[in-house]
Amino acid sequence: MSLIPSFFGNRRSNVFDPFSLDVWDSTSSSLTTPSPETSAFVSTRIDWKETPEAHVFKADVPGLKKEEVKVEVEDDRVLQISGERNVEKEDKNDTWHRVERSSGKFMRRFRLPENAKMDQIKAAMENGVLTVTVPKVEVKKPDVKAIDISG
């Protein structure tokens, strides 16, 4: 068994992606250790696919309203998706038997490639899934003209 992630096989494998910039705790200098307030919800799942027309990001954010999620783009071509799920208010008369739903802050960052149209990014949320669409610059195919061969 190899400890190096495979670049082949399952498309959802943990392959190193140079465009992905995971940030665990923006208030700390450490990028490897999650802080207590973000550790429960930091693992927000995001898919990134590229189509001929766009880069499409889909983030699972179940239970969050669009007002609780933020999509931003920094000048250096970094897409940032962040948000927070608040802890449910406790009533003194409540008896909790199990607490499994996560709460806290999350933030994911992705460096966008050069072909991204930074001024035309759109975001939508439906059924707990945030979709961010980043259109791509159209690559114009060269005109090819057949030349007759005289003989």
Tell me, what CATH number does 117's domain have?
2.60.40.790
What range does the domain containing 36 cover?
Answer: 20-86+102-135
DSSP state of 62: T
User: So what's the pLDDT on residue 85?
Assistant: 83
User: So what's the pLDDT on residue 141?
Assistant: 78
For residue 15, being part of any structural domain is answered with no
Nearby residues of 95 by Cβ (< 8 Å), 6 or more positions away:
none
- The edge-to-edge listing of strands for the beta sheet with 122-126 is 46-50, 54-60, 129-135, 122-126
For residue 7, being part of any structural domain is answered with no
User: So what's the pLDDT on residue 12?
Assistant: 46
User: So what's the pLDDT on residue 81?
Assistant: 95
User: So what's the pLDDT on residue 2?
Assistant: 44
Q: Could you say which residues of the chain have pLDDT below 70?
A: 1-42
For residue 96, being part of any structural domain is answered with no
User: So what's the pLDDT on residue 109?
Assistant: 94
For residue 146, being part of any structural domain is answered with no
**37: enclosing H helix or E strand:** helix 36-39
Q: For residues 37 and 42, give the distance between their C-alpha atoms in angstroms, rounded to a whole number.
A: 9
For residue 4, being part of any structural domain is answered with no
For residue 117, being part of any structural domain is answered with yes
User: So what's the pLDDT on residue 53?
Assistant: 94
Residue with tokens 């759109």: 122
- Whether the CB-CB separation of 109 and 78 falls below 8 Å is answered with yes
The count of domains in the chain is 1
User: So what's the pLDDT on residue 19?
Assistant: 55
User: So what's the pLDDT on residue 101?
Assistant: 76
Q: For residues 80 and 75, give the distance between their C-alpha atoms in angstroms, rounded to a whole number.
A: 11
